[in-house]
Amino acid sequence: MGQVLKLLVQRIALGLLLLLLVSLLVFVGTEILPGDVAQSILGQAATPTSLANLREELGLNEPAPLRYLSWLGGVLTGDLGTALSNGQDITTQIGLRLGNTLFLAFWAAVVAVPLAILLGLLAVRYRNRWPDKLISGLTLASISLPEFFTGYVLIFFFAVKLRWFPSVATVYDSMSLLEKLNAIALPIAVLVMVVLAHMMRMTRAAILNVMQSAYIETAELKGLSPFKVIFRHAFPNAVAPIVNVVMLNLAYLVVGVVVVEVIFVYPGMGQYLVDHVSKRDVPVVQACGLIFAAVYIGLNLVADIVSIVTNPRLRHPK
């Protein structure tokens, strides 16, 4: 138990250190962005005096290290600052947008994760036969298409031609759950198609690797059916690599939704980030980048912890 706790503390400390480095990279990246936020707020007709006054008011004349430390101190206290372009509190706005992004990612995961595991089990059961080839071919075809192309194709057929779902995924607090699900059906479909293939193929590969073990051959010699051998003996021992790939794809569902949210004008973190990048609103870009990094690092940390708990070789490295 002491060894497990030590490994967990090491992983958590490494994750926090990585998040600190990411915060520095995000700050430096936004600092070297081209353009001037004061110019973007006041417009091209602004005078040099008004631009200088606005830069001083926004604190843009302070040295970059001081601005980074001030921003980092605010982040540690839960204050992400104020948007330069509209004066709104970033923490409040991100709270609303992050909830929408997590709502979209949650329902995409509810569909994608069980479906990927089921298809992976079926592909193993009928390995090298037509179900395996069909599942592999369709999933590889889906992941080969860019997200924006898939999104526009779904909009054309299901929103424009068939009119089954709206082309703009707008959600409000007053909408019922069914109305929200109907609004986000097409973004969910795009996200599922993107992450399904990776999870399915990794599930298939992990189970096939376990199927080479001696105890699997023993189970087969006992007369157990192929499904029982796979589900009862192979699948539980392949959980660690499957959890790793599931967590990576869950991280993508939260972090990589920028393109999907822009296509469907969904009021999430991705759309919020893109809107303020065009305005060169540095505090908003910094806050969104840091939150995306925190989500990605956090889910990878969960995958590491699950691997440590479920794999005796990691718990006892000697």
Would residue 57 count as lying in a domain?
A: no
Q: Measured between alpha carbons, how far apart are the two ends of the chain, in Å?
A: 15
Evaluate whether 14 touches 303 at the Cβ level (below 8 Å): no
CATH classification at residue 257: 1.10.3720.10
Predicted TM-score (pTM) of this structure: 0.74
Alpha-carbon distance of 159 to 162, in angstroms, equals 6
Would residue 53 count as lying in a domain?
A: no
Range of the domain at 154: 90-315
| C-alpha closest to that of 190 among 161, 152, 150 | 150
- The residues, ordered by sequence, that sit 6+ positions from 112 with a Cβ below 8 Å of its Cβ are 191, 192, 195, 196, 199, 249, 253
Would residue 183 count as lying in a domain?
A: yes
Would residue 72 count as lying in a domain?
A: no
Alpha-carbon distance of 288 to 27, in angstroms, equals 11
Would residue 202 count as lying in a domain?
A: yes
| C-alpha closest to that of 81 among 270, 244, 288 | 288
Would residue 4 count as lying in a domain?
A: no
**Domain count within the chain:** 1
Task: Give 195-229 pLDDT, tens digit per residue.
Answer: 887 788 777 777 777 766 666 667 666 666 666 67
Would residue 77 count as lying in a domain?
A: no
Cα 93-98-100 angle, rounded to 5 deg: 105
Would residue 176 count as lying in a domain?
A: yes
| Tens-binned pLDDT, residue by residue, of the chain (318 aa) | 566 677 777 778 887 888 888 878 877 777 776 666 666 666 666 677 776 776 776 666 677 777 778 777 777 777 777 776 677 778 888 887 888 888 888 888 888 888 888 888 788 777 778 877 888 788 777 777 777 888 888 888 888 888 888 888 777 777 788 888 888 888 888 888 888 877 887 777 777 777 666 666 676 666 666 666 766 666 666 666 777 777 777 777 777 777 888 888 888 887 788 777 767 777 788 788 888 888 888 877 777 777 666 665 555 555
Alpha-carbon distance of 78 to 162, in angstroms, equals 46
Alpha-carbon distance of 287 to 38, in angstroms, equals 19
Q: Which amino acid is at 267?
A: P
Evaluate whether 263 touches 152 at the Cβ level (below 8 Å): yes
Helix and strand counts by DSSP (H, E) for the chain? 17, 0
